[in-house]
């Protein structure tokens, strides 16, 4: 496609998105206020940015950051730490923190994210299974790509056995379906607690933060976990993860993060916490930019006849757009185009490889300032039928616009 046509397609798509964009602006404003209120409430000061060394006793920057997250999430307690290496690590801490031998875990949004498979059920690696924790999952039901919890199946599971924790993910993972909204999580929590008040509800919040005005913590999730190199790090946090929710449970997770004799009393970070505070502050706006970019990709490729999600007037519930290419060449071309128009490593050609934790080969276009950051514009996909590209992020909307037009330019020559 020539440059002029690509630009015209993008402008047409934007015109169709004006109401969606206005809605996203309103959500960003609401969340910015929420974050600002939390900063004021915690009296965040410059000295909180300072780094610490060694044990990190009385690390006020770390403690305040944890309180700040708890405030933003309107929950009792939170752990935020650069020592959590990824989202998978945060989710693993959440699970190991609260589950004990003999307990049962039930995932209700289908199988958990690919990298959790080994965490839950691999042999001889120190998985939940190795520690005698039983596990099962229930697939989502779907109507018109809108996922629904299978409440009948959940009910019979809860009535027939003791279930310590229910697990659900907001984001779509690698599947061509819409993400789950917080209102659905609320319905799930009410449903579960009515049948079995002691069963915990644990949420994989990756890609969900600031997409709506409310979070799972607002509707009674016992714990939720996520990555700082996705939404809530605002593209500025260099690494890390969080777990937030009920005070007593967060404490259990802290014992797992460090040691039962230590909890959150220790943990230093010599570089200082500036990017964590600044990233959180920027996150509502950055997430809005990413969402706008995401909708723009979806609308434009949908106009071209590709199956995309979201599509039409669908509200986005995570920052991801799925585009079904139907063949490997187109998919790889698309990812190459995204890499070419990245600020970092634009000279690099992404190739499919065997990534740790994934079953199929995965191609990843990620020309990001922070390695692997997917709040920055990125595209990735397992190389398998029906060859769906998952596009997410974009620190600025303008980058998404240029990237979209570049991918269109590569299409059909
Ligand atoms: C990214 C992601 C994870 C894992 O996070 P990593 O930081 O890649 O380890 C888990 N669940 C969902 C839904 C995700 O999007």
d(CA 109, CA 142): 11
Which residues make Cβ contacts (< 8 Å) with residue 274, sequence separation at least 6?
A: 49
Q: Does 375 contact ligand 1 (Cβ within 6 A)?
A: no
d(CA 47, CA 70): 20
Spacing, Cα 88 to ligand 1 middle (Å): 6
Spacing, Cα 240 to ligand 1 middle (Å): 12
Torsion angle, CA of 38/40/46/49, rounded to 10 degrees? -10
Same fold, 3-30+281-411 and 43-279: no
Q: Does 364 contact ligand 1 (Cβ within 6 A)?
A: no
Cβ pair 298, 308 in contact under 8 A: yes
φ, ψ of residue 402 in degrees (nearest 5):
-65, -40
Q: What is the DSSP string of 151-198?
A: HHHHHHHHHHS--SEEEEESS--SSSSPPPPHHHHHHHHHHHHHH-TT
Given a cut of 70, whether residue 286 has pLDDT beyond it is yes
Q: What is the DSSP string of 126-141?
A: S-TTTTT-EEEE-PPE
- Residue whose Cα lies nearest atom 7 of ligand 1: it is 87
Look at residues 353, 313, 98, 113 and name the one whose alpha carbon lies nearest to residue 230: 113
According to the model, what pLDDT value does residue 89 have? 98
- Residue whose Cα lies nearest atom 5 of ligand 1: it is 87
Look at residues 210, 279, 179 and name the one whose alpha carbon lies nearest to residue 30: 210
Cβ pair 84, 109 in contact under 8 A: no
The pair of structure tokens assigned to 347 is 């000279």
Q: Does 113 contact ligand 1 (Cβ within 6 A)?
A: yes
d(CA 309, CA 291): 12
Spacing, Cα 392 to ligand 1 middle (Å): 13
According to the model, what pLDDT value does residue 413 have? 47
Cβ pair 186, 3 in contact under 8 A: no
Spacing, Cα 276 to ligand 1 middle (Å): 19
Q: Does 88 contact ligand 1 (Cβ within 6 A)?
A: yes
Q: Does 390 contact ligand 1 (Cβ within 6 A)?
A: no
Cβ pair 290, 392 in contact under 8 A: yes
According to the model, what pLDDT value does residue 130 have? 98
According to the model, what pLDDT value does residue 144 have? 81
- Residue whose Cα lies nearest atom 8 of ligand 1: it is 87
Q: Does 231 contact ligand 1 (Cβ within 6 A)?
A: no
Given a cut of 70, whether residue 109 has pLDDT beyond it is yes
Mean pLDDT of the residues in the chain: 96
- Cα three-residue angle 406-407-408, rounded to 5 degrees: 90
Residues 127-181 pLDDT 10s = 999 999 999 999 999 888 889 999 999 999 999 999 999 999 999 888 888 999 9
Let me know if 20 is exposed, middle or buried by CB neighbors in 10 A (0-12, 13-18, 19+).
buried
According to the model, what pLDDT value does residue 145 have? 81
Let me know if 315 is exposed, middle or buried by CB neighbors in 10 A (0-12, 13-18, 19+).
middle
Residues 329-363 pLDDT 10s = 999 999 999 999 999 999 999 999 998 777 889 99
β-strands 223-227, 200-204 pairing: parallel
Site to substitute for ligand 1 among 109, 115, 119, 233, most atoms within 8 A of C-beta: 115
- Reported as type and span, the H/E element at residue 240 is none
Domain ranges of the chain: 3-30+281-411, 43-279
Pick the CATH number of 43-279 from 3.30.160.20, 3.40.640.10, 2.170.120.20, 3.20.20.70: 3.40.640.10
Q: Does domain 3-30+281-411 have CATH number 3.90.1150.60?
A: yes
Spacing, Cα 319 to ligand 1 middle (Å): 12
Site to substitute for ligand 1 among 112, 140, 171, most atoms within 8 A of C-beta: 171
Output the pTM of the full model.
0.96
């Amino acid at each position: 496609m020539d440059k002029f046509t690509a630009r015209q397609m993008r402008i047409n798509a934007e015109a169709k998105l004006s109401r969606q964009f206005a809605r996203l602006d309103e959500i960003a404003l609401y969340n910015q206020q929420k974050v600002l209120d939390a900063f004021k409430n915690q009296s965040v000061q410059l000295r909180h940015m300072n780094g610490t060394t060694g044990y990190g006793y009385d690390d006020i920057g770390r403690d305040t950051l944890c309180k700040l997250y708890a405030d933003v999430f309107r929950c009792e307690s939170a752990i935020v730490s650069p020592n959590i290496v990824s989202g998978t690590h945060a989710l693993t801490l959440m699970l190991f923190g609260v589950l004990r031998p003999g307990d049962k875990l039930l995932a209700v949004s289908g199988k958990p994210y690919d990298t959790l498979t080994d965490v839950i059920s691999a042999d001889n690696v120190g998985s939940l299974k190795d520690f005698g924790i039983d596990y099962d999952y229930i697939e989502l039901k779907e109507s018109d790509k809108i996922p629904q919890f299978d409440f009948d199946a959940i009910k019979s599971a809860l009535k027939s056995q003791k279930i310590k924790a229910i697990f659900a993910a907001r984001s779509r993972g690698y599947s061509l379906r819409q993400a789950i909204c917080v209102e659905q999580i609320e319905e799930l929590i009410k449903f579960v607690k009515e049948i079995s008040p002691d069963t915990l509800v644990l949420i994989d919040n990756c890609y969900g933060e600031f997409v709506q005005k409310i979070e799972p913590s607002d509707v009674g999730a016992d714990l939720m976990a996520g990555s700082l190199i996705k939404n809530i790090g605002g593209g500025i946090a260099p690494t890390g993860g969080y777990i937030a929710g009920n005070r007593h449970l967060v404490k259990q997770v802290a014992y797992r993060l460090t040691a039962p004799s230590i909890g959150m009393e220790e943990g230093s970070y010599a570089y200082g916490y500036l990017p964590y505070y600044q990233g959180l502050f920027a996150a509502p706006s950055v997430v809005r930019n990413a969402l706008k970019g995401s909708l723009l990709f979806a609308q434009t490729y949908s106009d071209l006849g590709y199956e995309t999600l979201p599509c039409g007037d669908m509200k986005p519930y995570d920052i991801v757009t799925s585009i079904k290419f139907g063949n490997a060449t187109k998919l790889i071309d698309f990812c190459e185009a995204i890499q070419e128009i990245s600020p970092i490593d634009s000279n690099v050609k992404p190739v499919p490889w065997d990534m740790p934790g994934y079953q199929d080969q995965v191609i990843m276009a990620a020309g990001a300032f922070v390695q692997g950051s997917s709040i920055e514009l990125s595209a990735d996909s397992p190389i398998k039928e029906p060859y769906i590209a998952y596009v997410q992020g974009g620190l600025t909307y303008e980058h998404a616009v240029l990237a979209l037009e570049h991918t269109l330019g590569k299409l059909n020559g």
